[in-house]
Structure 1
């Protein structure tokens, strides 16, 4: 519709055509109102029954909620209207009639459970609060890309169908690929490492990853969005600096460009970007602080992974984003480099929100012999990864990087109760459609 005006742009004194969805109809007897909703907001359409054509009134007041309509008329100032203006219609066309029996109420007056909302995601996104989440998510990705470019990183796209898993194990999704076994990629890890050995040197990728997780919790997905970074001639401390920069930029972008969405979500007063450097705790310091909280039934010892309850206790104690560094080598992947002066200590790190882990990263092992040895120590066959390992024979620079969970970033940023609320069409153990 070339002559369409968005509701937010309708000014008193203009004759406009607006198009959108019937949000609500209020019949007060001699006068009635149709509230029309489009991408930019809502506008009131006034029907004075005694002064208008009967067919126009009948059409306008008889149309079902969520039908798509186009209205042409004069815009007038009306302080009592929700947006301060209203339209007196000359014509109303029903573009697409909606079924009167809706599976959920897009006005939000009647709540629906999350499963029903996800089954009817198109209708669900007609709610201002839900739409706001995905407008913020889009701003997060825009801000992250800008931050990466400011770090002189090149955006890449790596394969999502692979012959071998990035990390092995039971979290692989097998598929049949022209009669051969293949897998959905768990991470772009190996490919982005190969790229730092190329002429690109510093790269980032934002794309899907797939994990056959057995977990079915409010913070786990089987298809997720990974925000990845890798740089040649970086060590783990410089990689953490970059991580801090990118996460802070995401918050700053939302604070600057999503004021309306934050207001819709009732977050405007409390939302703020991280200020200053994130604390950096060693793994040893982390387990000591967790043990000191007394929240766990059993004390953690060196080599233990951090249980969810321990992460929560530490997060409450720290109270802001923070890093856990210097993890034991034995519990980090084969490609993470050990400290030169202590092979029991890795350069691996995690970046944490007070409620959960967001980032895993570290300096990578760039020496061919040490890399192959790491494969063998973790029970992996180096020959299956020959496409990867052989490139380390041809001049692989020291490098470091990380992967950030996109949905977890949005979830923690907005305080969402379930990670599925940050995904348009989630994929988990039960959900494969829509």
Structure 2
């Protein structure tokens, strides 16, 4: 059978074709010559395969190539099988050596160089494994919410005012008028609760914060949820509990190879994720770990210690921190007793991955809150208007997809959990 007549086989399918002739197409991942015998590693979307031949004119690494040959079992080859090359063809030759050696890349070696040359470094096996996990995570997010009666929405990313106030907005010139890149779809998803009752969105958001840390991005993928007719924030936390369980179930079924490659484990999600109030959390990390906590929130070390406590005492990688003070929450957070709110954060393996809670649904209460936060009500008219028309009690949350991906996979810097990250200093590629 000619190469043209053969159907393409993917590398992960080789075991099915032992003793048969196959056609592989992919990228020249690595190459070496040993005494006239040539070994080439071909990479395609499903993995890598070792191919062995002689007298081959091999192009530069990363060239697109085609190999036709017979499949043989080989215990030391990736996947336990290799291809004995019968014919070799260059489909599209690389014209320059890659600026980084893709098979030898590691996240802890020259990290800025890896990001500078992201157009090729993203092809690395570990790099694309992280992105594959994130793609499945997002798909599971969508699928589960739809089974619970949610509708996907799309909201503007060019806005006239910030959803949360503050100065962390990117200004733009909108035909001579001041405008901003959206820091959150919060106000729009609340409006859409009046339409579909349960809504979600998967979209980028923008934060003009001058962070230069391993946990922050200035553009990231936000997984947003909002649901109506709730009793209180417990309904929202229960939904996120079920959602996370569904996500981990899908990752277990579809990403075993990627987790194994990265040496990571998929967490068990408790039937009831532990809860602790912010004040009790401060007291716990102070008493147990002698770590003082000031301010209106937990600092990163306190988050880490709190997660360590629940991992050790309850075997949970997750913990909800509840009852945040108003000073630590945006104007739309529903007040609770005292000066607290019905807001919560979800911590996972030492870091916050979710912020959420119940929102104000009463128009008069909302206007009072806007005044208390010293915001200009005129800039929020398009949002506040809907609360005159019978908005139900509602709440929701947002998950940062990159941050969750990074913590799931043990990636030390969140920038490697995005194909083309935007941080304080990076606008390319």
Say yes or no: TM over 0.5. yes
Structure 2 residue 237 is matched with structure 1 residue 237:
no
Q: Give the drift of 1:367.
A: 0.8
The answer to whether the 8 A contact 1:348-1:361 is kept is yes
Q: Give the drift of 1:87.
A: 3.2
Aligned to 2:306: 314
Greater displacement, 150-159 / 39-48: 39-48
Aligned-partner Cα distance in 2 for 1:77–1:293: 56
Aligned-partner Cα distance in 2 for 1:80–1:428: 41
The alignment partner of 1:170 has SS state of coil
Aligned-partner Cα distance in 2 for 1:159–1:211: 15
User: Which of 417, 426, 431 does residue 421 from structure 2 map onto?
Assistant: 426
User: Which of 6, 9, 33 does residue 5 from structure 1 map onto?
Assistant: 9
Aligned-partner Cα distance in 2 for 1:22–1:79: 21
The answer to whether the 8 A contact 1:362-1:400 is kept is yes
TM-score using structure 1 length: 0.90
Alignment of 1:306-345 (within 5 A): 306-319=298-311, 320-339=317-336, 342-345=337-340
Aligned-partner Cα distance in 1 for 2:76–2:328: 63
Structure 2 residue 138 is matched with structure 1 residue 130:
no
The alignment partner of 2:60 has SS state of coil
User: Which of 39, 42, 45 does residue 45 from structure 2 map onto?
Assistant: 39
Aligned-partner Cα distance in 1 for 2:305–2:68: 58
RMSD: 2.0
The answer to whether the 8 A contact 1:166-1:185 is kept is yes
Structure 2 residue 285 is matched with structure 1 residue 290:
yes
User: Which of 248, 272, 278 does residue 277 from structure 1 map onto?
Assistant: 272
The answer to whether the 8 A contact 1:295-1:313 is kept is no
Residues 120 and 344 (structure 1), Cα distance of their counterparts in 2 relative to 1, 3 Å cut = same
Q: Give the drift of 1:191.
A: 0.3
Structure 2 residue 359 is matched with structure 1 residue 364:
yes
Alignment of 1:5-404 (within 5 A): 5-10=9-14, 11-48=17-54, 57=55, 60-79=56-75, 81-108=77-104, 112-198=109-195, 200-234=196-230, 235-267=232-264, 270-296=265-291, 298=292, 300=294, 304-319=296-311, 320-339=317-336, 342-404=337-399
Q: Deviations over 1:51-93 (max 9, x none)?
A: xxxxxx2xx2442222211122343445554444443434322
The answer to whether the 8 A contact 1:34-1:61 is kept is no
The answer to whether the 8 A contact 2:61-2:97 is kept is no
Q: Give the drift of 1:41.
A: 2.4
Q: Give the drift of 1:366.
A: 0.8
Query: Aligned pairs, how many?
Result: 416
Residues 194 and 33 (structure 1), Cα distance of their counterparts in 2 relative to 1, 3 Å cut = same
TM-score using structure 2 length: 0.91
Q: Deviations over 1:325-367 (max 9, x none)?
A: 112223321101112xx25221111111141111111111111
Aligned-partner Cα distance in 2 for 1:236–1:385: 24
Q: Deviations over 1:278-307 (max 9, x none)?
A: 1111122112112213443x554xx63222
Structure 1 runs (4+) deviating above 3 angstroms are: 73-90, 109-112, 293-296
Gaps of 5+ in 2: 312-316
The alignment partner of 2:102 has SS state of coil
Aligned-partner Cα distance in 2 for 1:158–1:350: 24
Residues 299 and 176 (structure 1), Cα distance of their counterparts in 2 relative to 1, 3 Å cut = closer
